[in-house]
Structure formats: C-alpha cells, structure tokens
Amino acid sequence: MFRCFFPDEYRNSTYEIDFEQLYREGYRGLLFDIDNTLVPHGAPADDRAKALFRRLRKLGFRSCFLSNNKIGRVSSFNEDIGEIFIENAHKPSVGSYLRAMELLGTDRSNTIFIGDQLFTDIYGAKRAGIRNILVRPIHPREEIQIVLKRYLEKIVLYFYLKEEGTS
C-alpha cells in the first residue's frame, strides 16, 4: 500500500552517505533537495555544505539542486556553492527530475536523488525511475504544510522500517 513512497535507502544525514562508493558504483549525477536535507530550513549554505560540494566535484560528480522553493531562496543558498539548480520544481512531478538529468548530462541509470521528504522528494524520484536516498530532517523547524505531512510520513516510515526489519 505504501511501497510507492518507500525510499531505496534511508540515512541519518546527507553527510554520512558514502559518495566515494556511489562513484565506484558508476553514479555521476546527484540531485539534492536543500532545506532540511543540506541545511536547516531557510538557512544559507554553511561550511559543511560548501565542503561537501567541493568534495563531490573533486570526485567527479555533477550536482543539481531540485527545490520547490522560489528562485530567491535557491539562488541565495547556491551563491557560494555554484551548482546547477531548478527552482519551483513542483516535486513530485517527474518533469523537473528529467530536466535536471538533462542539464547534468546523466540518465536514470547513473543519477541519485537525495532528500528529506517522502511525498515530494522520494515519491518524485521513484516516479522518475531514479535511485533515491531519504535522509532524516536536519532540524525540526519547518513550514506548517511540511509539519502536517511529517505525521503521515511517520506512518509510512513505520511500515518501511518494519519491512526492512529495523523497527
């Protein structure tokens, strides 16, 4: 029933993902949500985020931020990072995921999406046929519409963790 929302992987943080291993597995494109995936909601790019993207470029990855936020938020976050981005992505709509891969020169077989929300980030990536990694939200402060979705996400995650044998 909830399987269409189950992530391919679930991690505590974006910053614990083994990107070196993903590169060895042949992945070359990384799509990222921003808020609560890389920094707390509304926060600027911090030193940890800047260092991550320097490391990813050095490894050979191409990255794109895929955000439902408006251009002001996404461009201000990206100012010190300098990656490609798509604002107003309308996730979970598939179109922006496909456009991001086109911009990166990657495809479904070598692209991964990383985000913190099941019903937008992960569901959209699954619909687009992209491997995905769900990460725990960085900070509990969120917009009201997201807070409401988190209650439903808890139900889905309960069944996901039960199926994975980790609940």
pLDDT tens figures, 42-53: 999 999 999 999
Amino acid 150: pLDDT: 67
Give the per-residue pLDDT at 49. 98
Residue pLDDT, tens place only, 53-62: 999 999 999 9
The CATH code of the domain at 3-164 is: 3.40.50.1000
pLDDT score, position 143: 61
- Residue 43 neighbours by CB distance under 10 Å: 16
DSSP assignment of 21-74 equals HHHHTT--EEEE--BTTTBSTTPPP-HHHHHHHHHHHHHT-EEEEE-SS-HHHH
For the chain, the structural domain boundaries read 3-164
pLDDT, tens digit (0-9, with 9 covering 90-100), for 10-32: 999 999 999 999 999 999 999 99
Peptide bond into 137 cis (omega under 30): no
Query: Which tens digits make up the pLDDT trace of 57-106?
Result: 999 999 999 999 999 999 999 999 999 999 999 999 999 999 999 999 99
Tell me the pLDDT tens digit for each residue of 101-141. 999 999 999 999 999 999 999 999 999 999 999 999 987 66
The confidence score (pLDDT) of residue 112 equals 98
Q: Taking residues 142-157, what's their average pLDDT? A: 69
Q: How far apart are CA 68 and CA 131, in angstroms?
A: 19
